Copies of this chain bind each other. A is one copy, B any other.
Amino acid sequence: MNSKLNLPADRVAYARELAERITAPVQDFIDGHSSVTVERATLRLAGADGASPDGVPVANLVVDRIRAADPAALEDGATVRYVNALLKSGGDVRALNDRIAAGFDVTSLPLGDRAAIEAKADEIVAGTLARIKGNREFREGKLEQWKGRNNSPLLYLIVATGNIYEDVKQAAAAAEQGADVIAVIRTTAQSLLDYVPYGATTEGFGGTYATQENFRIMRAALDEVAEKQRRYIRLTNYASGLCMPEIAAMGAVERLDMMLNDSMYGILFRDINMYRTFVDQMFSRMLNSYAGVIINTGEDNYLTTSDAYEKAYTVLASQLLNERFGFRAGMPSNLLGLGHAFEMDPTLKNGFMYELAEAQMAREIFPDCPLKYMPPTKHMSGDIFKGTEMNTLFNFVSKATNQGIHLLGMLTEAIHTPFMMDRYLAVENARYVMNYVDGFYDDVEFKKDGIVVSRAHQVLRETIEFLEHVEKTGMFDAIEQGLFAEMKRPKDGGKGFEGLVKKGPAYYNPFEKALKRELGIVR
């Protein structure tokens, strides 16, 4: 690709270097810590499944009991306790889980032979990783088999009925209409639950619970449509939140293809503790990297919270930070679905040119990333006709700048979660526009000192200034001072702080070790 914007390569490299420097101390912190959900994710990977009669997941029961028995015990990691119990109880995971669900406390057993535990753990790790790898190979096989049958960019639709069985119908219809990616929107505030609900669910608010069983149901349904359509249909869910690593683990095992997973979303937009979030995102991203799951980052949230024109630089800054945190978790660029959005005020003169500039800039700065482009939402209104027009221009920019993942805009965005017909109209709009404007990307150039080029240069400049400021301040202080998204988040405030765990000298996590090895992470 030759550049249309002529962005100075050295400044881009400098911006990346700033991101590297900003994230280094954070990574130091991460490396020394775990969290309750990292431990639970590990337990899940080791086989901890099921829930107590009143709905507490086995993974939570184990971790909670370890902590209850000895507040410092998690320092050693939870897995050792679980594997120990497994060995002692005959090696049947299912039976152990049932016992735990029924009240059995793994800490009640004394720790057995360390070598035996580690050997058993290695065996479990190998089994789980093989399954995840199998999923990855299955996906790659299907993509190869049905090559060329997906849209470009991928058309991404959400379902949000709250009921997994209704979701399945809507998702199948959406896929038949042409969607390439189905995201099951998560019920309101699940990100604030410090556990992952269990089983199939039919009651959610503005979305459906992310549960492993729901993942399985939707995956099966989409595989079925895919066979009919001879087009691989990707499944997406939401990781960011208090259970980011666990949901990533579930996704890896159930062959999800994309995962909302931002290194800072929880902190800024859900008031989750910053240390907790940073630790959690690392483990979840290692899992996604290994599983070949594309992550979707949440830069759009900056633009809905603040003014999209003025704060455009926050998007690029966040992309660079997400990229760096991703690299640190062993993630290759082709799994980094960095986000951005078409959220400028529709009454802004030259607005289209600015949107074009920013989308093109993202394309040029992250040439190998499957950028995830979000539709207009904040300025949508009850005027569904104006909404249709805004979506038309959004679809245009997306195709014209060769985005990778295209979230379809809904004409009823400001009114309700999508009706089936809203989704249909969205797909039709995108297909019409993208076929009609096809060729734009290769055909069009921008004047050297014109609006588009100047805007991109300006945003890059502002981003660098911002990152310099953050670097000087230090990441943790910067967040505390409200430099990001105009949200002030105290270091020891926010949800889930109590779930942070300092790794002790005997900290043991066979999955972490294996993933680091597989992903080649050395630090």
Smallest beta-carbon distance A109→chain B, Å: 64
**Bound state CA distance, A425 and B432, in angstroms?**
20
The interface residues of chain B lying within 8 Å CB-to-CB of A348 are 435-436
Cβ contact within 8 Å between B435 and A349: yes
Q: Which of B349, B350, B429, B443 contacts A447 (CB 8 A)?
A: B443
Q: Contact flags (1/0) for A409-440 with B, using CB distance below 8 Å?
A: 00100000000000001001100110111111
Q: Within the complex, which residue of B350, B388, B444 is in contact with A388, where a contact is CB–CB below 8 Å?
A: B388
- In the complex, what residues of B have CB within 8 A of residue A446's CB? 443-445
Specify which of B386, B425, B433 is in contact with A393 (CB 8 Å cutoff). B433
Find A436's partner among B351, B436, B439, B451 (CB 8 Å cutoff).
B351
CB distance from A444 to the nearest CB of B (A): 6
A508 close to chain B: CB less than 8 A: no
Q: Which residues on B sit within 8 Å (CB–CB) of A438?
A: 349-350, 352-353
Whether A445 pairs with B447 at a CB distance below 8 angstroms is yes
B437 in contact with A352 (CB, 8 Å):
yes
Q: Is A227 an interface residue (CB 8 A)?
A: no
**Chain B's nearest CB lies how many Å from the CB of A304?**
19
Q: A390 to chain B: which residues have CB within 8 Å?
A: 432
- Shortest Cβ distance from residue A470 to the other chain B in the assembled complex, whole angstroms: 32
Q: How far is the CA of A429 from the CA of B348 in the complex (A)?
A: 14
Contact present for A451 and B429 (CB under 8 Å): no
Q: Which residue of B lies closest to A449 (CB)?
A: B443
Q: How far is the CA of A429 from the CA of B383 in the complex (A)?
A: 11
Q: Kindly name the residue among A429, A444, A445 whose own CB sees the greatest number of chain B CB atoms within 10 A.
A: A444
When distances are taken between beta carbons in the complex, the residues of chain B under 8 Å from A396 are 393, 396
Q: Which residue of chain B is the closest to A400 with respect to CB atoms?
A: B352
- Asked if A389 and B433 sit within 8 Å, CB to CB, the answer is yes
Whether A389 contacts B388 by the Cβ 8 Å rule is yes
Q: Which B residue sits closest to A344, measured CB to CB?
A: B436
Determine whether A442 belongs to the interface, using a CB cutoff of 8 Å to chain B: yes
A443 touches B432 (CB 8 A): no
Residue numbers in B under 8 Å from A314 (CB-CB): none
How many angstroms from the CA of A386 to the CA of B385 in the assembled complex? Answer: 10
A452 interface contact, C-beta 8 A: yes
- A389 contact set on B, CB distance < 8 A: 388-389, 392, 429, 432-433
**A435 nearest in chain B by CB position:** B349
In the complex, chain A residues 333-365 whose Cβ is within 8 Å of any chain B Cβ: 346-353
Q: A445-B445, A446-B444 are in contact. Are A429 and B385 (CB under 8 A)?
A: yes
Whether the pair B439, A451 counts as a contact (CB closer than 8 A) is yes
A436: chain B residues at CB < 8 Å are: 346, 348-352, 393
Contacting pair B435 A442 (CB below 8 A)? no
Residues of A379-414 contacting chain B, CB below 8 A: 385-386, 388-390, 392-393, 396, 411
Nearest B residue to A425, CB-CB: B385
Does any Cβ of B come within 8 Å of A71's Cβ?
A: no
CB distance from A434 to the nearest CB of B (A): 10
Is A450 on the interface with B (CB-CB < 8 A)? yes
CB <8 Å contact, B447 and A451 = no
| CB within 8 Å for A350 and B392 given contacts A428-B385, A447-B444, A447-B445 | no
Which among A435, A443, A450 has the greatest number of chain B C-beta atoms within 10 A?
Answer: A443
A353, B439: Cβ atoms under 8 Å? Answer: yes
List B contacts of A450 (CB < 8 A): 439, 442-444
Find out whether the CB atom of B440 lies under 8 angstroms from the CB atom of A352: yes
Q: Identify the 3 closest CB pairs spanning chains A and B, nearest first.
A: A443-B450, A392-B392, A352-B437
A interface residues, Cβ below 8 angstroms from B = 346-353, 385-386, 388-390, 392-393, 396, 411, 425, 428-429, 432-433, 435-440, 442-447, 450-452
* 20 additional contacts (CB under 8 A) given A350-B436, A388-B388, A388-B389: A349-B435, A349-B436, A351-B435, A352-B436, A352-B437, A352-B438, A353-B438, A353-B440, A385-B411, A385-B425, A386-B428, A386-B429, A389-B389, A439-B451, A442-B451, A443-B446, A443-B447, A443-B451, A444-B450, A445-B446
**10 A-B residue contacts at CB 8 Å?**
A348-B435, A349-B435, A352-B440, A386-B429, A389-B389, A389-B392, A443-B446, A444-B444, A444-B445, A445-B447
